[in-house]
Structure 1
Amino acid sequence: MTKPPKMPNPQASIDYLTDACAKLSGAMQHFLQNPPSLSMATSYDTSAVLAAMTDVMTGVMAQPQRLIETQMKAFDEWSRMWQDMWTPGLAAKPAVAPERGDRRFSDADWESSPFFRSLKDSHLLAARHLREFVQSSTEEDKSKRAMAELIVEQYLNAVSPTNFILTNPQVMRRTIDTCGANLIAGFANMLEDLATGRGIVQRRTDDGAFRLGENLACTPGGVVFQNHLMQINQYTATTASVRARPLLYVPPLVNKYYMIDLQPASSLVKWLVDQGHTVFVVSWVDPDESHRDCGVEDYVGTGVIEAIEQVRKVTGSDAVDLFGFCMGGTLLSMATAVLAARGELDKVGSATLIGALVDFTDMMEWSAFVNDAHVDALDVHIGDKGYIAKDELQRLFSMMRANDLIWSSYISHYLLDKEAPPSDLLFWFEDGSHIPEAFLRTYNRKLLLEDKLREPGAVTLLGEHLDLTQITVPVTIIGLKDDHVSSWKSVFRGRQYFGGEPIYILGGSGHNAGVINHPSRKKHGFWTNADKTTDADAWFAGAQKHEGSWWPHWSDWLYANDPGEEVPARKLGGGKLKVLEKAPGSYVLGA
């Protein structure tokens, strides 16, 4: 017997409707008092976007035979889809299905209802054909192809049936249950977001659930050094003795360091301290106009190399083990190359790069912005302020994962009027930093656009010609299998440029979540292979998969490459430097 549909509670609906109207009234007043400014300035060249689309489409039309074949294939697949729609029990395999990780169509009605199923399958099939259409272009410029694919992807994300009231079963049910109050309250949410001046879709998580230094970035420690670019946190030992060689973390500039020190149950910093490592962390300042002229040389010299010297002073250790994530790993590589050129490589015990690139040949979707036109436009855009704002960077990163970071929030906050659940990782993601003008100019041209770091001697920094082949200390390179920022294959290519025999580890999951993988969770897994091949696919084909986190495997490697005996647990500052304040420090807190 079919279960009757649940009927709305009239009084509950009236109460919700009353509250929603009151909320909208307050939001409207706030919006009118704080109207958003409309800026036409962009950090990219709009004419280059149009030129890329035109050239890629011209490249499609240049192959009429292939275009006809694509159309015939599309006709066959559409015919099969509609046949399966009317005879679902006979279909051995659906004509189209969401890609792995696509959570938009998780509601049961997307399969059980013929109407919603037809909407879903039609959208997914049309999306596949449009992607194949663009990919069939003969256009050879990687940046133009990436831009065209990016524009198409943003369009497909925007027109998904999940984003509209009448074509999303979950939104329809919610609207009926609340007599439309969810849409009124959702509109109020949108006005409140617009009034902040940061644009829409800002509340991805419950910010009130986290407090830095209390339940986030709360591993005990203190700031033992500070200059105009960074603070250095040292963390309190939890073991009676510690490994002889200290460990120093270099984070990227775009986000603050504490991705590796989220809640205690997932903190890499706490876990490393508990394994007997003396851990130091660079905490970059959030720059303002006064940092306009701080370039790559400053962040490498006054930043990474200075941090190495201070850690050596605190611990009395001759060498320091370095590890860095994303851009931090690239800076770490440059700093180590500078020390090698100076004959001071013995100050570095080992280097670990996590999701970090030194070969920028293939930047996937990011290639769309790696060309002269866009780099020139960015130079002009940041000229007045002296930096690129954190909000702009966050919007760019969000666009690359629009379904997860934009449209899911749009549906949740504006259509369903649901509070965002607490997420420490999203809290960190939204707590970004500016990047100074001088840094971006050099980094974008020499590294991203010209791709010079992998060429021995092609980049000059602090008076030294950088040559990664002179880095002969033990090196581990860690890629993340589902990384949308630094492709694991691009990260893999980096190991051929270092001296010695770098080890490669492939972790599961994506750019951020793949790093924060505490062993207790037993998730994701990782792959290892001792083969020295430079072919990423061949390496993966012969790799052994291990269950759980790569953290213990890496920690064992650190211990194996440390020739010193364990020493008594070190005090903060080591008697050489004064503890300036408690960790995480004012540079993270914004005080």
Structure 2
Amino acid sequence: MKGPLGFGNDDLLQETLQWQRKLVEGLKLLPGVEDVNYGVTERQEVWSDGKVKLYRFVSEHPGNGQPPLLIVYALVNRPYMVDLQDGRSLVQKLLALGQDVYVLDWGYPDRSERYLTLEDYLLRYIDGAVDHLRAQHDNQAINLLGICQGGVFSLCYSALRPHKVRSLITMVTPVDFQTPDNMLSHWARQVDVDLFVDTLGNIPADLMNASYLMLKPFRLNVQKYVGLMDILDDKQALEDFLRMEKWIFDSPDLAGEAFREFVKQFYQGNGLMHGSIRIGEEAVDLQAVRMPVLNIYAEQDHLVPPAASRAMAGRIGSSDYTELGFRGGHIGIYVSGRAQREVPSAIDQWLSRNR
């Protein structure tokens, strides 16, 4: 007999027995689960500056003659999300399509990097990597793929050094940092960032992770671990879960001065919308971004709401601007099955049209 909530004692008993079985199987399985690895694709270091390194991914596929594609990731997480595992790798798919793919790895800043600025990240590290690639490829302009905060960096860099960028791709990249549905922005705009950085120096990774998790506290701190019970008896699913957890909590500290500048100029000043961003002594003019631009956003993104990304339209100088909405969230756009089918091929086809 069903109760007022739609289930009865027999249902509860079966559910309890099922959970008990999964728990027993999980206790048998867990000791055999080794530390999960990431990064399915062989890569080679080709350039470095301090802790920042440029890697080239080794491809077994013939190239398609396109200029090199440089991936620029955010500072707050490790870039191996784009090459997480076999079958869930943006890099793997792009290589199979003939792209020549590189990635910048920011490393793990320590106290010696506290005073790094946005000028260092854009006009020292990104520019240095780009100059290296251009020197290796007949001084031609490169293709640039920026992701999240790395997309913001790539957009600003393309405005400052447009002759070095042939095509620009941005993924889950905010332009309007003050859309009403951006909870992270509401928090960042209330922070006394000067007191914050002057007190802490570099921003601890654990503090940043806690902030991101509290954007959806029940789902990210409770629900997903309850859901873990459903896969305790599935070794592959369990390893996938642990691999994602490893990426989430393998976060670098953030260089204090660069964090201060980024929060003040982008979140609090909404500088891309108002034309007030400065990198060192140089002003960022989005009208200087005249190369072809592909802007990919996630339709269920709680960190970069679609409106924050779509604000790019009409603010850059390019007459060749394309938007692509992806049915998924901020992380799913890299690793979900749909993303693996749709995103790499969309990037490759768009680059091919703009040869």
Taking structure 2 as the reference length, what is the TM-score of the superposition? 0.85
The equivalent residue for 1:112 is 7
- Please, what is the CA RMSD of the aligned residues? 3.2
The equivalent residue for 2:324 is 505
Counting only pairs closer than 5 Å after superposition, residues 234-249 of structure 1 correspond to structure 2 as 234-249=56-71
Report the more deviating stretch, 231-240 or 468-477: 231-240
Tell me if the contact between 1:454 and 1:468 (Cα under 8 Å) persists in the aligned partners. no
Larger Rg: 1
Distance in 2 (CA, whole Å) between partners of 1:453 and 1:172 is: 52
1:239: how far off? 2.6
Letter in 2 for 1:407: V
1:507: how far off? 0.7
Q: Does 1:434 align with 2:253?
A: yes
Q: Does 1:329 align with 2:146?
A: no
Q: Deviations over 1:109-155 (max 9, x none)?
A: x64249x9xxxxxxxxxxxxxxxxxxxxxxxxxxxxxxxxxxxxxxx
Distance in 2 (CA, whole Å) between partners of 1:358 and 1:228 is: 30
Letter in 2 for 1:468: L
Give the direction of change, closer, same or farther, for the CA distance of 1:315–1:235 in structure 2 (3 Å limit).
Answer: farther
Distance in 2 (CA, whole Å) between partners of 1:431 and 1:447 is: 25
State the identity %.
Answer: 22
Counting only pairs closer than 5 Å after superposition, residues 142-157 of structure 1 correspond to structure 2 as none
Tell me if the contact between 1:325 and 1:356 (Cα under 8 Å) persists in the aligned partners. yes
SS of aligned partner of 1:497: coil
Letter in 2 for 1:260: V
Match of 1:173 among 11, 16, 28: 16
1:257: how far off? 0.6
Q: Deviations over 1:160-197 (max 9, x none)?
A: xxxxxxxxx6999379969xx99xxx9xxxxxxxxxxx
Give the direction of change, closer, same or farther, for the CA distance of 1:173–1:556 in structure 2 (3 Å limit).
Answer: same
Distance in 2 (CA, whole Å) between partners of 1:325 and 1:388 is: 21
SS of aligned partner of 1:394: helix
SS of aligned partner of 2:60: coil
Counting only pairs closer than 5 Å after superposition, residues 209-358 of structure 1 correspond to structure 2 as 209-211=35-37, 216-339=38-161, 345-358=162-175
Tell me if the contact between 1:207 and 1:427 (Cα under 8 Å) persists in the aligned partners. no
The equivalent residue for 1:27 is none
Q: Deviations over 1:510-548 (max 9, x none)?
A: 00112324xxx4x369xxxxxxxxxxxxxxxxxxxxxx5
1:412: how far off? 6.6
Tell me if the contact between 1:229 and 1:299 (Cα under 8 Å) persists in the aligned partners. no
Tell me if the contact between 2:94 and 2:345 (Cα under 8 Å) persists in the aligned partners. no
Greater RCO (CA < 8 Å, at least 6 residues apart): 2
Tell me if the contact between 1:247 and 1:277 (Cα under 8 Å) persists in the aligned partners. yes
Tell me if the contact between 2:176 and 2:307 (Cα under 8 Å) persists in the aligned partners. no
Tell me if the contact between 1:359 and 1:454 (Cα under 8 Å) persists in the aligned partners. yes
The equivalent residue for 1:477 is 295
Tell me if the contact between 2:89 and 2:334 (Cα under 8 Å) persists in the aligned partners. no
Q: Deviations over 1:87-117 (max 9, x none)?
A: xxxxxxxxxxxxxxxxxxxxxxx64249x9x
Give the direction of change, closer, same or farther, for the CA distance of 1:314–1:364 in structure 2 (3 Å limit).
Answer: same
The equivalent residue for 2:283 is 465
SS of aligned partner of 2:273: coil
SS of aligned partner of 1:388: coil
Match of 2:178 among 361, 386, 394: 361
The equivalent residue for 1:398 is 213
1:338: how far off? 1.4
1:308: how far off? 0.9
1:228: how far off? 2.0
Distance in 1 (CA, whole Å) between partners of 2:61 and 2:238 is: 35
Give the direction of change, closer, same or farther, for the CA distance of 1:175–1:281 in structure 2 (3 Å limit).
Answer: closer
The equivalent residue for 2:267 is 448
Report how many residues are paired.
Answer: 340
Distance in 2 (CA, whole Å) between partners of 1:174 and 1:382 is: 52
Letter in 2 for 1:112: F
Q: Does 1:555 align with 2:337?
A: no
Distance in 1 (CA, whole Å) between partners of 2:264 and 2:149 is: 15
Taking structure 1 as the reference length, what is the TM-score of the superposition? 0.53
1:291: how far off? 0.7
Q: Deviations over 1:421-476 (max 9, x none)?
A: 222333322211111110111110111001012233x2222322111011100001
1:243: how far off? 2.1
Distance in 2 (CA, whole Å) between partners of 1:425 and 1:434 is: 19
Distance in 2 (CA, whole Å) between partners of 1:177 and 1:467 is: 60
Q: Does 1:493 align with 2:305?
A: no
Tell me if the contact between 2:52 and 2:105 (Cα under 8 Å) persists in the aligned partners. yes
Give the direction of change, closer, same or farther, for the CA distance of 1:465–1:240 in structure 2 (3 Å limit).
Answer: same
Counting only pairs closer than 5 Å after superposition, residues 510-525 of structure 1 correspond to structure 2 as 510-517=329-336, 521=337, 523=338
Give the direction of change, closer, same or farther, for the CA distance of 1:403–1:230 in structure 2 (3 Å limit).
Answer: same
SS of aligned partner of 2:335: coil
Q: Deviations over 1:353-386 (max 9, x none)?
A: 1000122121522133133xx421x543443442
SS of aligned partner of 1:472: coil
Give the direction of change, closer, same or farther, for the CA distance of 1:438–1:207 in structure 2 (3 Å limit).
Answer: farther
Distance in 1 (CA, whole Å) between partners of 2:226 and 2:13 is: 10
Distance in 1 (CA, whole Å) between partners of 2:131 and 2:14 is: 57
Q: Which runs of 5+ in 2 are unaligned?
A: none
Q: Does 1:375 align with 2:270?
A: no
SS of aligned partner of 1:393: helix
Letter in 2 for 1:360: F
Distance in 2 (CA, whole Å) between partners of 1:348 and 1:470 is: 11
1:404: how far off? 3.0
Distance in 1 (CA, whole Å) between partners of 2:325 and 2:148 is: 15
